[in-house]
Amino acid sequence: MAYRIGEVSKLLGLPVETIRYYEKEQIIAPKRQENSDYRTYETWDIFFLMECMRYRSFDISLKDISKMLHNDSLDFFVERIGFKQQVIDEKLRYYQMLERKISDYKDKLASLPYNVGCYWFVNTPEYRYFTYVRRENGDHYGEVEEKPLFPHWLKQIPFVEFTHHISFADIADPRIDRDAWGLCVESADAALLNLPLNAEVQIRPASLCLCTVMDLGDYGNLTLRQFDPLVTYIRDYGIVPEGDIIGKILTRVHADGKMHRYIEYTIPVRK
């Protein structure tokens, strides 16, 4: 039986333009009347279009679909399907990572009102990080350094996080007010994401850390003297720091006409 293109379009729910495009891509080869561009479609054309719809649902290219339908062997078919399965597996792994990241982030935001100014211990994984700008004496920043890795790491947000880096020796010395800002990522995530590394990237080993959340307030408020309660807590409880402080920026929000900068800080300590 012969079908007109409008009938095929209605039957399969495919736009006429799509059917014509599939002909151009050699998925189907409808018959043409002599001395005319008028086409008629047979049942086999409908079968091929249905098969094409099936393989497109796997996101297989029209070029490969044409080969699978008209030329190539079962081996090529299996290879193409296997490749698409691999792509889907990689996307699934990525979205599983993303779901865990978002879930953890949501929990941190929900607990902010209860954690500001409190202290607790947490085991942190190994991190890789680098800094790109330094600050001294209030919110006065130096030049943002041009880092080869900077744009590559930013493409992997939210697994790459914005961080505040402070030497414990500096917060313990009231004469000093300096720190740095950087990017940080869990080493396991860096490996899974094939994140580029170089000699500038430093490692903070997995460790037991003292953790707290602080509100650094509005622009211009930042000073290391805001960390005096942390220093006092460490000294009062005989805690021995074994590394520098890394703070992950959680969020900036506004309340009561002010900006609040919430940052979660961890400092490695002796067990």
What one-character-per-residue DSSP string does 179-248 give?
EEEEEEEEHHHHHHTT----TT-EEE-SEEEEEEEEE--STT---GGGGHHHHHHHHHTT--B-S-EEEE
In angstroms, how far is the first alpha carbon of the chain from the final one?
A: 81
Give the integer Cα–Cα distance in Å for 198 and 190: 12
pLDDT of res. 74: 87
pLDDT confidence bin for 76, thresholds 50/70/90: confident
5-70: CATH, from 1.10.1660.10, 1.10.10.60, 3.40.50.300, 1.10.10.10: 1.10.1660.10
Q: How far is CA 159 from CA 57, 99, 153, 202, in A?
A: 30, 11, 9, 17
Residue 194 tokens, joined: 């094939």
3-state secondary structure of 97: helix
CA separation for the pair 230, 252 (Å, rounded):
21
Going by pLDDT thresholds of 50, 70 and 90, the confidence category of residue 256 is confident
Please state, in angstroms and as integers, the Cα–Cα distance from residue 151 to each residue in 148, 156, 232, following that order.
7, 9, 39
Mean pLDDT, to the nearest integer, of 120-126?
A: 97
115-268 CATH choice from 3.20.80, 3.30.160, 3.40.50, 3.90.1570:
3.20.80
Task: Give the pLDDT band (50/70/90) at residue 37.
Answer: confident
Using pLDDT thresholds of 50, 70 and 90, give the confidence band for residue 142: confident
Neighbours of 128 (CB within 10 A): 20
User: Residue 219: beta bridge partners?
Assistant: none
DSSP character at residue 225: G
What pLDDT shows up at residue 1?
80
pLDDT at 220: 77
Mean pLDDT of 103-111: 95
Q: Which residues contact 42 (CB under 8 A, 6 or more apart)?
A: 1, 2, 3, 30, 31
SS3 125: coil
The pLDDT, as a whole number, for residue 96 is 95
| pLDDT(19) > 90 | yes
> Is a pLDDT exceeding 90 seen at residue 163?
yes
Average confidence (pLDDT) over 55-83: 89
248 has a pLDDT exceeding 90: yes
| Average pLDDT over the chain, rounded to an integer | 92
Residue 219: band (very low, low, confident or very high) from pLDDT cuts 50, 70, 90? confident
